Amino acid sequence: MRYLYYSLLMLLLFWSCQDLAQLDTIEDVTYDAVFAFPLLNSSITLEDALTKLDNPEEIRVAPDGLLTVVYNSSLVTQESLDILRDLSSTLPLMIPILSDSVVLPFSIPGQVEIDQIWFDAGTLSFSFQHSHPDPIDVTIRMPQLVQDGQPLTYQLTVPEYSGSGPLPVGNNENALTDLEQVRIIPENNQVTFEYDAVAPDGTPVNLTNFFLSINAPSISYAEGFLGQRVYEGGSDEVDIDFFDFSYTDGQVLFSEPVITLFVENSYGIPTRAIVNDFHVTTTNGNILPVTGDLIRSGLDFPYPEPDQVGMVSLDSFVFTKDNSNVGEVLSLNPRSIAYDIDILTHPEGGTGQSGFVRNDNYYSVRMQVDLPMIGNILRFAVRDTVALSIGDLQEIEEAEIKIIADNDIPVDADLQLYFLDDSGVLLDSLFLADQQRLQAALMTPDQSGTITQTTEVIVPISAERFEVVKEVASAILTINLSTDRNRDQPVRIFQNQQIGIRAGMKAQVKSK
């Protein structure tokens, strides 16, 4: 007899996701037969099932108990080095000085207008020649290049020209100027270079082959209109594992999904995210674009003002069924959601708006997908294959199993169990006709809760059937969920909703 007890206990173990710890008591399952005993008394909630998923960041419970599955992407971060490197690469590396006072437009390609630049690397050098027969004193002034709060100034004496051979050279090759100590502050978008070169008697001397050189510059801070440019932003993908319950068929129609892009930005310039790609991939491989006015126009990032250097501005962009097609594309069994963006600086163009970029600035984007458990389920099927052995059943003449299921969840559940032999050949099913339906709970009039529905069923197991299924080596449990009866009214899944299953068996043993 102990073989019978343990074999049937294994048979029903799959109907519970809980530890079968309470097998000594069961209400409402009684028989007149001598051999009558409980098999299981257990329950499962939707929250328990959802916590078995791998990818959700969290299972959120609203104050009213509504469950929401939340998925988050990794953080896509872009630092300011690309912008500053771009600016550094466009600086004029060699500037010819053709007279004793040169006013140069401080222009960088792309309509860039610089209010000031700071460096964290690089050097400044100069070199010139003269042909005067006497030593000369030279003073070089660069009013818009500031060092320690003062205009950058050089003073040096250059030997006389002997009349033959190479011309004397004046330079600072032995004391190059460290650009890290220099700021360029153009005046009216211009930079002035001046020099005085005089002989001992005060006669002005013309300098020749005069060049200023900026060597390996690296900008650490730039302020002004920094140009309208497109920079690579980044991409990411969120895997949706909601359908990894061995999903095989059907649909879950989420009626109120939400996608949110969270943005952090410490760039001090107007910046717009240009959406190159934003799509949902479904479980059957279809790719569905996410569309909406906000996506087409681009996402304008918040940014700190010039007096907020070092601060971070925060914002979020929310996509719902009201401002996009998110409600449509996320109602079709999503497998993943991916996006790809580029960044456009100064998207409105023009040169009147000043901003800043510092070498520690960054922006970051993170996508969050909220799937509230509100919607409809259409023939959504899950299945699982498990090892199973009925064992030696020679003592059984006939038996019946009584199942009592209390369903608090507003979803019908059709159950079936298929028996396979060790070659995977189908032997039989627990229910010979249709699958057994557990009636969905009814929603309360205010939609804030459910009214439990109880289903009772007795499954007779004849001796002839036992002869067939005794060779069972594994079983396939299928569960088909559907809200067909309530399709016009999306159901709501709450934390405390559960399906409770109690089962007992009575068996007739052959007389010896």
**Alpha-carbon distances of 502 from 82, 388, 457, rounded to whole Å:** 65, 20, 11
Q: What pLDDT is recorded for position 38? A: 60
Give the residue from 320, 418, 323, 416 showing the smallest Cα distance to 371: 320
More confident residue, 461 or 146: 146
Within 10 angstroms of residue 377's Cβ, the number of other Cβ atoms is: 23
pLDDT tier at 465 (50, 70, 90 boundaries)?
A: confident
Q: Above 90 in pLDDT, residue 146?
A: yes
* pLDDT tens digits for range 407-432: 888 888 787 778 788 888 998 887 77
Minimum mean pLDDT among 99-113, 301-315, 392-406: which range?
A: 392-406
Type of residue found at 319: F
Torsion, Cα 480 481 487 492, to 10 degrees, reads -170
Mean pLDDT confidence for 464-469: 75
Give me the DSSP letters along 86-151: HHHHTS-SEEE--SSEEEEE-EETTTEEEEEEEEEEEEEEEEEE---SS-EEEEEEEEEEEETTEE
pLDDT tier at 23 (50, 70, 90 boundaries)?
A: very low
- Domains (range + CATH), the chain: 2-54+376-509 (no CATH), 68-78+239-353+361-372 (2.60.120), 97-225 (2.60.310)
H-helix or E-strand spanning residue 419: strand 412-420
